[in-house]
Each structure stands twice: as structure tokens, then as C-alpha cells.
Amino acid sequence: NAGVTQTPKFQVLKTGQSMTLQCAQDMNHEYMSWYRQDPGMGLRLIHYSVGAGITDQGEVPNGYNVSRSTTEDFPLRLLSAAPSQTSVYFCASSLTSGGYLEQFFGPGTRLTVL
Amino acid sequence: EDQVTQSPEALRLQEGESSSLNCSYTVSGLRGLFWYRQDPGKGPEFLFTLYSAGEEKEKERLKATLTKKESFLHITAPKPEDSATYLCAGSLIQGAQKLVFGQGTRLTINP
């Protein structure tokens, strides 16, 4: 199993550009989520999904869109990048959405918006 | 407000010098308390889940404990390879699972 994979590893955007961060897992996990990690702020939940076709907002959803058409994939879209979105983005997955099981994290995407 | 606070922010120890990291939480309806290890440039790596007060779990030189208000990560006779940032997170249910993370403790073990 590859676990949770994320692409790209690094990305530089200009303000106003759009892009999609890819996330995939091969563990047949029901629950997937996106976090951003900023210095001094800890990890914050952006969006999450409890299964294919079902998504919901987390703590900091503004400026981001998600969709989940398959169990394996959970892409995060930045519609119009802003410097405030400069961060490290982590995708995570868990077998179920019940809250008792650990989440497995991907290696992260480091995004810089100029 | 659901909150997780870790202390200290940074800790520097000599190899073999035991210590503890603290994680205090105010998470209503806590489903689980998770500890993760994060190395520079990597994603968090799962260490432990604790579900109820009084529970303890061990892995090599690490032992995690849980009370009704806080969790401790005890590190016994640490080695330089234990250097990392340790993250604590509370799991709550608001429709579905959400993790509330602390800011982490950056641990450095000097040889």
C-alpha cells in the first residue's frame, strides 16, 4: 500500500491563479480531509468528506473547493490564490468517520502564493 | 470553544534525560486523544490514541497517559532520533470526525 499520496510536493503560484492539489489513498478509507499547517497555528481543518459524493466544510473553508467522486481521490481546488493561502497542505484519511480511529496523513504540499 | 494547548513549545534535552510533554484540552464530547510525531518536511505520523481517563499506552521510549483534562507524553531515556515535533489532537464529532490540533512541542535531543 502506498498509503496517502499528494501531488505536487511544491508549488509556486501568482495571486489570482487557480490550481488543484491532488490527494489519493489506496486503503479504501471512508473519511478524507484536508488541513493546512501554518507556523504557530497548528493544523486546521479545511474540508472533509465522509464518503464519495459527500463533502462538508471545516474550520477554514473560504477560498477552497473540494469534491469526491471516488473513494480514492479527494482533490482540493484553490479558485483564485491569495498570499494568505501560502501554507503547507496535508491530506489525511481514516477508515471511518466515527472519530475513534486515527487519521493517516500524506507527505504534504508546500504552496507559496506570490 | 474546543481547544487543545501543548506545552512547552520547545524542549531541549540531553540524550538519556527523561521528560514529559503536556497536552491540555477542552473538547466537548471527546472521542479520542491522538498523539502524532512530525519530522521536518514530512506529514504527521500516528503514535497513540487514548480513549478514556486513566488509559496508558507505550511504544519503545514513549508512554502516553490521559486524564479528564490533559494528556502527557513521557519520554524515557531519549535518543537523538527522538528529535521531532510532537502533536496532540482531540477528536470530536460535529456531524463527522474533526481533529482539533495543538500547536506542537518541538523536541530536540542532544547527543
pLDDT digits (tens, 9 = 90+) for B24-83: 998 887 888 999 999 999 999 999 999 999 999 999 999 999 999 999 999 999 999 999
Say how many C-beta atoms besides its own lie within 10 A of residue A94's C-beta: 25
Give the residue from chain B lying closest to A99, CA to CA. Answer: B97
Structural Rg of chain B based on CA atoms: 14
Q: Residue A103 and residue B99: Cβ atoms within 8 Å?
A: yes
Q: Between these two residues, B3 and B72, which has the higher pLDDT value?
A: B72
In which order are the strands placed within the sheet that holds B3-7? B3-7, B19-26, B70-75, B62-66, B56-59
Alpha-carbon gap: B67 to the closest alpha carbon of chain A (Å): 17
pLDDT band at residue B2 using 50, 70 and 90 as cut-offs: confident
Cβ density class B7-30: b for 16+ within 10 Å, e for less:
eeeebebeeeeeeebebbbebeeb
pLDDT in tens, A57-108: 999 999 999 999 999 999 999 999 999 999 999 999 999 877 778 899 999 9
Alpha-carbon gap: B29 to the closest alpha carbon of chain A (Å): 10
Say how many C-beta atoms besides its own lie within 10 A of residue A54's C-beta: 12
pLDDT of residue A87: 98
pLDDT of residue A42: 86
Percent of chain A predicted with pLDDT > 90:
86
Q: Residue A44 and residue B101: Cβ atoms within 8 Å?
A: yes
| Length of chain B as a residue count | 111
Amino acid letter for position B58: E
Question: Do A75 and B71 touch, CB atoms closer than 8 A?
Answer: no
Question: Do B53 and B34 touch, CB atoms closer than 8 A?
Answer: no
